[in-house]
A and B are shown apart, each in its own frame.
Chain A
Amino acid sequence: MVIVPTCGLASKAGRVRRKFLLTAATAALVPVMALTAMDAVADDSVKVAVIAPLAGAFAVSGQDVLNGAKLAAEEINAAGGIKSLGGRKLELLVGDAGQSPETAVTTARRVLNQKPVAAIGSWYSSLTLAATQIAERSRIPWVTGSVADDITNRGFKYVYKISAGSEASAQGLIDAIKLVGADSYRLALLGDNNAANTSIQAFIKTKVDPSSIVSEQTWTPPLSDATPVVNGILRSKPDIIYLGATSTSDQALVLKQLAAQGNTAPIVMGASSAANPTFRDAVGSQGMEGVIVATGVSFPGKGAEDINQKYVESTKQAFMDCEALTGYVNIYVVAQALEQAGKADPAAVKQALDDMDIQNFHVFEALPGGARMKFDETGLRENNAVEILQWQGGQPRVIAPADVATAEVKKKL
């Protein structure tokens, strides 16, 4: 019995060839599909990217950054645009940085592909650290109000930071703690594992007597249940509680839990989002009374009343917060750089930022440190300073530094 060999080769080769073509065709589709995703940009405005968390756990803060940026852009355009470019208007390219570094990277890639001359954002340090990777590789200058020291000590050349760093923030917190407490105190540290917060907490531990830290809790945001965290903290009976969470819902949750479990220790918060109007609803003016915030991101204080006014009018929020001020100031920084550069070109803007040394510009007076806008060689603004705020009467007031202060500290109520 003999089996005739199948016409194996003929049809087999045909099948294989077909598969071959299919594979090659599919592979070729790849770039075609991706290319169609790019839109051609060709109109007369100067594009500036704003990449901030607009959805997710940090949306409240990111939205305010955008609000501030929009206000600034509108003002600049209303005043005649960028004069050195013949009055060209600013256009904001908005991107949602999401709530994780991956989404920040993806968004940054997508938005920076459209070739803006500069970018600002992303408020949450982890997101900024991620997104600026793209900026540096794309050679587009990026101005940020995020706090983490790593932002400017990676040796990047295209990143500029207007706020104080983590170490300075930690020192500011120690000062704030001294403002409300005695000289020796039992300190409890809690916070999320955001890049800024972890480095601040690390610095705090180097600056205080280790025996004064009685409890430490860290979580990955977003937090859904504050009970274990608060349980752990309260049982160590702290004199002062440092809360370093960054997401407003995390902060509100912890504050409420602390109140509900009968906490009487003063609370010091380390993230600028703690000065957000949303707390008036979430926790209540009464609940926030006396809470201290120490942050490297500036809050509108003395000299910024008119900016605050304009913001409140246009957004109907109770007051302008740090995030909004950051967005507002950063757009002006970019605008000033454009004016100096005289060209709508990222390289020229970068150069202008490197060379920038502006004094007596009204907007920059809102920042502590003498209203001077100058960046050092790592991209850090010189004369930056940590502000200490305290919630009084339903809104944060600047206690320190003196050049922007609007109120005095109210000690233990």
Chain B
Amino acid sequence: MNTSTQSKPIGMPRKDSDKSSASTRGVPFSMSMSSAVWQLAALLLGGLIAIFLAGDSPAQITVTLTLIYIAYASAWNIVAGFAGQFTFGHSAFFGLGAYSATLLTQWIGLPPMYGLWVGVLAAAIAATVIGIITLRLRGLYFGLATVVFPTVFAVFATYLGFQEVSVPFSPDGGLESFTPGDPKVLSFVALAAALLVCIVAVALLRSRFGTALGALRSDQDAAEASGVNTTRVKIYALVLSAALSAIAGGLYASVSLVVTPVDVFGLQMSVKPVLMTVFGGIGTLAGPVLGAAILVPLSETLNATFGATLPSLSGLVYGAALLLVITLFPGGLVPFILSVAKRVYRSGAPSAAAEVAAGVSSRSDATEQVKGGTEEDASHWMPSQGRDTPVEPGAPILTIAQIAKAFGGTKVLHDVTMQVASREIVGIIGPNGAGKTTLFNIISGFVKPDAGSMQLHGTKTNDLRPSAIAALGLGRTFQTVRLFSGMTAIENVLVGALASCADREAASRVAWSAIEEVGLAGRALRKVDGLTTGELRRLELARAMAIAGQGGLLLLDEFLGGLTKEDSAALLEALIRWRKNGGSVLAIEHTMRAMADFVDRFVVLNFGKVIAQGSPEEILKNQDVIKAYLGDKWGA
């Protein structure tokens, strides 16, 4: 795909099908289609080979189990690896699948192949409830909380009398009974399940939902500020993962032949997918597959050979494998293998390309030619975020009235009233502790004010969550740069663009425009982990621009920190262009000097109160301001 050196303004409505010469570059997916197809094919082929080699021998059970665990581990990987939500309670869903399939067969004779789907439904419902209950917990707390659920299920299953449910034996049943005479059949079904889970995973990675997952995994708050409704994303991921786990559970019942709470709802069963996925490589597609494919046959074989004398050998192997992986190569087996392969088969590709971690990323979808900086071109720009009616210059974009906030007993903001108009750059200054960042957090929705009201683009935002506010056209940066590690620069910006673009194509256009605005188009395909501080700040600005869209509001929190003079100048020019194109900026800085040249107006905060507003000249002469910064002695 080529780009032109000329581009015309894209104009305002975001859904326009402007096929002009403006950026039509795509943003590469974190998983390329060819890579995905190869891996799925490998799974299919490997599975078929295993099934036929095992034939009718007792080894077939091992093959079935391996495939079941491949499905289970891959399902867990969706919520833990892709979304970054480490759960230790997945056996809740696995067990629901196992029990549903078996109980329904016992009660109404429904063959497991159909009963299994009831389990899927049950698991989805359970996951929704569990997600809602636990969603506000983070990290470690979340992980520990999830352990509780399968335990409670187990207690109730025992209490209700289901402590050992036998899988009925129907020797004349067909395929749907999962107990046909030929043991290969169940393996085929398990292979289908494993493929299903992996295909879903691929589809996920290649969707905008997948991009949101990556952002969530990396930095939840930054994702929220970039327009990702993290609550919804978390729950969706959990529900999807749960439903797929239930399928694995339903199949498992037909292998274990007896379903007990200790087995299917137990901590061991929750830990197994964790083990296998971490061993193989968390967050990758091949990780859980490889992890299960190695560990399950290993432990089953050890059991079969030494089980009579050393029954716990398989557990030992699992534990040792986990410990080894964590201490030696915590990323897992797949990244380790790939890094070894990279060293052995040094291909001369730039190191950035070789950073492809764990087969997830690819660049073959990337376009070849990337246009350079467009400092001069002020006319091409991005679609606005659904604001179809043009805003007159001077009309207020952001209105804050009488905002007050106290933390504990300390009042941090008193009665703050101000506004930012369209095509205006406003600077908020004040000594440390004046409440500037708190104000930002309130405006962007991370903190709820105790009193007062806010309006953005005409919509009241007091009760909106950060992602909703972002979608209205507000992009912010943070005091310490918070970008999504593990993703490329352009993908980071893409997350923001997806906040309000209808599809990936439109979002890609927006993303490329933004990244060109800050002059980073040349580094767009690098992973952010390889960028310099200056580049990171510029990138964060590009992301904020993509979120806000044309005519939107940028909230910049000390964005000039750590920049060289050249970088600062370039960024300030970008902001001036932003203003020219209809946008506004509200920026926090410590000192006036940096901003005096380009802001239209200052707002001075001290001890949570607005003590002055006005043009830079006015502010410089204001007695209250001088006193605030330098102390009473200096006042006139």
Contacts and interface: CB of A to CB of B under 8 A. Distances in A.
A–B direct touch, CB within 8 Å, in complex?
Answer: yes
Interface of A: 1-20, 22-24, 26-38, 55, 94-96, 98, 100-103, 105-107, 109-110, 113, 126, 129-130, 133-134, 136-137, 150, 154, 156, 193, 195, 198, 220
Given A31-B57, A34-B304, 10 more contacts: A15-B345, A15-B356, A18-B341, A28-B46, A29-B297, A30-B62, A37-B59, A137-B169, A193-B163, A220-B163
Interface in B327-371: 334, 337-338, 341-342, 345, 347-350, 352-353, 356, 359, 362-364, 366, 368-370
Given A26-B46, A105-B258, A32 B53 contact: yes
21 contacts: A1-B522, A2-B369, A3-B525, A11-B345, A12-B32, A15-B359, A24-B46, A24-B49, A27-B47, A31-B60, A33-B298, A34-B63, A34-B300, A34-B301, A37-B304, A55-B311, A94-B308, A102-B256, A102-B260, A156-B169, A195-B164
Interface stretch (B34-42, B130-138, B542-550): B34-42
Nearest to A102: B263
B37 to A, nearest CB: 9
B124 to A, nearest CB: 27
Best-buried of B38, B60, B289 by chain A (most CB within 10 Å): B38
Contacts of A27: 45-47, 49-50, 293
Contacts of A107: 307
Given A10-B347, A101-B164, A220-B163, A130 B257 contact: yes
B301 A100 contact: no
A23 B286 contact: yes
B429 interface: no
Contacts of B337: 19, 22
A1 B372 CA distance: 5
Contacts of A22: 290, 337
Contacts of B321: none
Given A9-B364, A10-B347, A35-B59, A28 B42 contact: no
B369 to A, nearest CB: 5
Contacts of A100: 260, 262-263
A254 B275 CA distance: 39
Interface residues on B, range: 35 or more
A250 to B, nearest CB: 15
A94 B370 CA distance: 72
Contacts of B353: 6-8, 11
B366 A5 contact: yes
Interface in B499-544: 521-522, 525
Interface in B1-48: 32, 34-35, 38-39, 41-43, 45-47
A409 B359 CA distance: 77
Contacts of A4: 368
A7 B258 contact: no
A12 B290 CA distance: 19
Nearest to B70: A27
B459 interface: no
Contact of B258 (A33, A55, A129): A129
A106 B57 contact: no
Interface string B278-307: 000000001001100110011011011101
Nearest to A32: B53
A22 B280 CA distance: 13
B364 to A, nearest CB: 4
A190 to B, nearest CB: 16
A3 B522 contact: yes
Given A6-B363, A36-B301, A154 B166 contact: yes
A129 B164 contact: yes
Rank and list the top 3 A-B pairs by shortest CB-CB distance, nearest first: A27-B46, A34-B59, A11-B347
Contacts of B60: 31
Contacts of A134: 257
Contacts of A32: 53
Given A31-B53, A130-B257, A19 B311 contact: no
Contacts of B41: 20
B432 interface: no
B564 interface: no
B311 A98 contact: yes
Contacts of A15: 338, 341-342, 345, 356, 359
B63 A16 contact: no
Contact of A8 (B298, B345, B366, B369): B366
Given A10-B347, A18-B341, A34-B62, A23 B258 contact: no
Nearest to A129: B166
B474 interface: no
Given A23-B286, A102-B256, A28 B341 contact: no
A130 B525 CA distance: 57
Given A11-B345, A130-B164, A23 B290 contact: yes
A67 B362 CA distance: 65
Contact of B39 (A13, A20, A94): A20
Nearest to B285: A19
B164 A126 contact: yes
Contacts of B294: 26
A38 B56 CA distance: 13
Given A27-B293, A55-B311, A20 B53 contact: no
Given A129-B258, A130-B257, A19 B359 contact: yes
A55 B161 CA distance: 25
From A2, A9, A19, residue with most partner B Cβ within 10 Å? A19
Given A20-B41, A28-B49, A106 B345 contact: no
B479 interface: no
A8 B362 contact: yes
Nearest to B45: A24
A18 B343 CA distance: 14
B258 A101 contact: yes
Nearest to A94: B308
Interface string B158-169: 100101101111
Given A30-B297, A136-B169, A14 B258 contact: no
B492 interface: no
Given A133-B257, A220-B158, A34 B169 contact: no
B619 interface: no
Contacts of B35: 12, 16
A133 B169 CA distance: 8
Nearest to A219: B158
A3 B368 CA distance: 7
Nearest to B353: A6
A137 B179 contact: yes
Contacts of B345: 11, 14-15
A30 B373 CA distance: 54
A113 to B, nearest CB: 5
B66 interface: yes
Contacts of A113: 58
Interface in B56-75: 57-63, 66
A129 B522 CA distance: 68
Contacts of B350: 6
A34 B54 contact: yes
A36 to B, nearest CB: 7
Nearest to B352: A6
A137 B39 CA distance: 36
A133 B258 contact: yes
B349 A11 contact: yes
B305 A7 contact: no
Nearest to A193: B163
Contacts of B39: 16, 19-20, 23
A110 B341 CA distance: 39
A18 B522 CA distance: 31
Contacts of A20: 38-39, 41-42, 45
B509 to A, nearest CB: 19
A34 B57 contact: yes
A98 to B, nearest CB: 7
Contacts of B298: 33
Contacts of B352: 6
Q: Which of B32, B53, B171, B262 has the most CB of A within 10 A?
A: B53
